[in-house]
A and B are shown apart, each in its own frame.
Chain A
Amino acid sequence: MPPPLERIADRLGLGPDDLAYLRRFDDAHLEALDTAVAMAQHREDHEVRRSMRDAVRLVPAPLRRRVAATLFPRDEPVAEAPRGTPETSPAEASP
């Protein structure tokens, strides 16, 4: 597993040099930051999928499949849950 600074940078779509100011902290601190960022992203991903799934249920039946396909394309990458986060059930993960 890459060191925590690299993981944080990766989660933020940045290079480690963009976060050079974090290098002064030890791995335990950076792990805490990485966990907080990962949890926030995971929580948001989960909330977004749940809300959109609820919204799709309100779409009139003839259009529902098409709207669901637009919002949840099959080739979309699935975000990895941070360690210690309960797994999302398949029922929750798909519309």
Chain B
Amino acid sequence: MSAGRSVVEVAKLKHALQVPAAATDLDFLADLAPADVSHLRRSIDAARHARQAGRFARLAGITRFLPVAVAAKAAEAALGPLVSARTASVMEPEEASRLAERISPEFLAELTGHLEPTRATAIVAGLPPQLLIEVGRRMLANGDHLTLGGFVGVMPADASVEVVRDASGLAILEIGVHAEDPAALDEVLSGLPDEALERVLTAAGEHERADEAVLLMGLLGLEARARLFELLPRLDRLHQRRLVRAVVRQAAWEHVLPVLSRISADALHHLVRLPEIADPDLLAGLVHDDG
């Protein structure tokens, strides 16, 4: 499980460095503990913000003398998303929120990709939910799932639910796996209908992303995990078996066993009849592992 989390953290690091996901030069970092990769990424982000912080602070100072509408237009027409995002990070949050409300959602969706979520919390808190939803949906349409994952917990859960309610299962899976705040992710998934979660499990089975579905499960609380297991019988049998195989492969039993007492008798019977679970070697291994 930890190796899988490290791979996710390396994907976030590559995204931060604008290294293509398919490039393998930095894959060796997945040998580190997830917390170490995360520390490295945060250190890189902090250094990048600090490098030109003085320049951004001076730009924010100039912006203060401009009418909000003019500053918003200048951001969009001349500064571009990177500089606008960095400048917003050093502005007073109320000022940045006021400015954001005058900027087009298309540009905000681009700009958000350059924002460090923890620095943007106060700005996001000052924005109307409808604008957040519109920006989030544009990011979703742009396939910016890693950034959206970083904003789970920064955006209010209700707004996040509205952004992903009709999203593809694969998109929700990718956003969920890259979520920075598991508690907030739990809240978002609890706000989604069963159909959306079913799409996630189906996409994981269809696209051979079952390992990621297991990682997602590991981020969730017991109730949300139990809900996923309740949905398992609804899936195509091939997809069910792929998901269970991923649990076996990752030995993710610490996430599965506590759930079994919370799911319905029907779902439990269905699960234990799957060949992967009924395998005597697997059961023997579980007993052996537990001593």
List the interface of chain A (C-beta within 8 A of B): 11-14, 18-19, 21-22, 24-25, 29, 32-33, 36-37, 39-41, 43-45, 47-48, 51-52, 54-55, 57-58, 67, 70-72, 76, 79
Contact = CB atoms under 8 A, between A and B. Distances in A.
Contacts of A47: 80, 82-83
6 contacts: A13-B47, A18-B43, A22-B40, A25-B31, A44-B51, A52-B83
A52 B25 contact: no
B52 A48 contact: yes
Given A12-B47, A33-B26, A44 B82 contact: yes
B269 to A, nearest CB: 46
A19 B74 contact: no
- Give the interface SS of chain B, mostly helix, strand, loop or mixed: helix
Interface of B: 16-19, 25-26, 28-29, 31-33, 36, 39-40, 43-44, 46-48, 50-52, 55, 58-59, 61-62, 74, 77-80, 82-83, 86
B78 A58 contact: yes
Contacts of A45: 51-52
A37 B29 CA distance: 14
Nearest to A70: B58
A21 B33 contact: yes
Given A24-B31, A48-B55, A55-B74, 16 more contacts: A12-B43, A13-B47, A19-B40, A22-B40, A25-B28, A32-B28, A33-B26, A36-B17, A36-B25, A40-B44, A48-B82, A51-B82, A52-B79, A54-B79, A54-B80, A58-B74
Would you list the 6 A-B pairs with minimal beta carbon distance, nearest first? Answer: A55-B78, A21-B36, A51-B83, A12-B47, A40-B17, A51-B80
- Give the interface SS of chain A, mostly helix, strand, loop or mixed: helix
Contacts of B26: 32-33, 36
Contacts of B62: 67, 70-71
A36 B59 contact: no
Contacts of B46: 12-13
Contact of A48 (B18, B77, B83): B83
Nearest to A36: B17
Contact of B43 (A14, A54, A79): A14
B214 to A, nearest CB: 25
B71 to A, nearest CB: 11
A32 B26 CA distance: 7
B25 A55 contact: no
A54 B78 contact: yes
B79 A55 contact: yes
Contacts of A55: 74, 78-79, 83
B85 to A, nearest CB: 11
B23 to A, nearest CB: 9
B52 to A, nearest CB: 6
